[in-house]
Amino acid sequence: MQNETNLFTPNQLQGIELRNRIIRSATWEGMADAEGQVTGRLVEIYRQLAEGGVGLIISGLANVVPEGNAFPGCLGLFKDQQVEGIRQLAEAVHDAGGKLCLQLGHGGGQCSSKSAGTQPVAPSAIKVEQYPEEPRQLSQDEIGETVVAYAAAAKRARQAGCDAVQLHAAHGYLINEFLSPHTNQRTDQYGGDIDGRSRFLLEIVSAIQEAVGKNFPLLVKLNGSDNLEAGLQIDESSVVAKKLDAAGVAALEISGGTPASGDQVPVRRAHESGDEMAYNVVLSRTIRQQVRCPVIAVGGIRSLHVMTGLLRTGQADYISLSRPLVREPDLVNKLQNKQSEKATCISCNGCLKAALKGNFRCILDD
């Protein structure tokens, strides 16, 4: 575990030279084209984030297979023709002094037939609240093919010049669906207890490490809790975290919730009681006590006071922000230069509604 707690001190994350401990958490911008290709507008967003001082930028989710598409405008990295666009993203970030981590994922049962182009797939053929329709159960052969697809996408990310990749194993997407007893009711080797339900994730980790080498940093975004009575809970997510740590992952970003989690969904609106709520910290703190790899706190973090406090008290090793950087891509520079003590983001989620219309931005500035 790293002892340096200064938010703005340069550091290394499994060999990546970072200029600070602030990370841009993966954010769906909805600005890739219909083929999952990078657009000029997307490159400009990433350039601004890097120029604004963010140490590590985690991209919006890049689908590892076409049928894993849950939202319009998502990136894709399932074919070689998509590498050049990702290279443009990486170059823009590097030219501005930042680092780029590409998030890899699959929407699973949270896809629709319309978004995926076919009936969605999931660990089990059951209809739960977070799914728009009943999915088809993945066969064991298809699970193996999906593992290979993740590894191939990671290899393309490295070829494109990305500094790392992150697996999206949270928020009710496919990997999280395997981890959760709420969505995984399989009776084969990929179901049952947490050892079986984590097999898919660990096979992906192993396949990626074989494809790109263990020295290429692999991060994982993990639900500490699904915030559902029948879902993944902190005791089992802690077991998964320790397995990932033992496998040599570079860092764990601990989030929580699914679209079916009521007022505890992954992206929560501001509460009247205040906006410095850091609502996943109880989860990240618990897991940080059990692993050696760095842990990233994310969710509702808005002020410099809270950021530095989380590092100083050992509750996290890095701070991850999403919505605040939509309104203020230069927020990190403002905080470091003492031009600001707090993000102006009010967690209204208007930026996400704008992304649905293909015009990702902070609507408060309209």
Q: How confident is the model at residue 68 (pLDDT cuts 50, 70, 90)?
A: very high
Is residue 274 scored above 50 in pLDDT?
no
3-state DSSP helix/strand/coil percent for the chain, to nearest 5?
A: 35, 15, 45
Write down the pLDDT at residue 355.
Answer: 79
Write down the pLDDT at residue 151.
Answer: 98
Q: Is residue 3 part of a domain?
A: no
Pairing relationship of beta strands 11-13 and 16-18 according to DSSP bridges: antiparallel
The residue annotated as part of the active site, out of 173, 190, 279, 318, is 173
> What mean pLDDT is predicted for residues 160-175?
98
Per residue in 233-253, pLDDT tens?
999 999 999 999 999 999 999
Q: Is residue 5 part of a domain?
A: no
Lowest-confidence pick of 67-81, 158-172, 228-242, 264-278: 264-278
CATH number of the CATH domain containing 261: 3.20.20.70
Strand partners, 24: 57, 321
- Exposure pattern of 293-306 as b/e (b: 16+ CB <10 Å)? bbbbbbbbbbbbeb
Q: Is residue 148 part of a domain?
A: yes
Write down the pLDDT at residue 4.
Answer: 42
Q: Is residue 189 part of a domain?
A: yes
Q: With contact defined as beta carbons under 8 Å apart, do 154 and 210 qualify? A: no
Write down the pLDDT at residue 88.
Answer: 98
Q: How confident is the model at residue 356 (pLDDT cuts 50, 70, 90)?
A: confident
Q: How confident is the model at residue 194 (pLDDT cuts 50, 70, 90)?
A: very high
Percent of residues, the chain, with pLDDT higher than 70:
96
* Cα gap 281→316, rounded to integer Å: 8
Write down the pLDDT at residue 362.
Answer: 77
* Cα gap 16→357, rounded to integer Å: 35
Query: What total number of domains does the chain contain?
Result: 1
Helix (H, G, I), strand (E, B) or coil at 161: coil
User: Shortest CA distance to 63 belongs to which of 117, 130, 16, 12?
Assistant: 117
Average per-residue pLDDT for the chain? 93
Could you list the residue range(s) of the whole structural domain that residue 156 is in? 11-365
Task: Please state the pTM of the whole predicted model.
Answer: 0.95
Active site residue 150: no
Q: Is residue 251 part of a domain?
A: yes
DSSP 60: S
Is residue 102 scored above 70 in pLDDT?
yes
Pairing relationship of beta strands 62-63 and 16-18 according to DSSP bridges: unpaired
Q: Is residue 4 part of a domain?
A: no
User: Shortest CA distance to 166 belongs to which of 246, 56, 82, 257?
Assistant: 56
* Cα gap 99→165, rounded to integer Å: 11
Is residue 273 scored above 50 in pLDDT?
no
Is residue 291 scored above 60 in pLDDT?
yes
The amino acid that residue 58 corresponds to is: I
Q: Is residue 350 part of a domain?
A: yes
Q: Is residue 327 part of a domain?
A: yes
Tell me phi and psi for residue 63, to 5 degrees: -70, 135
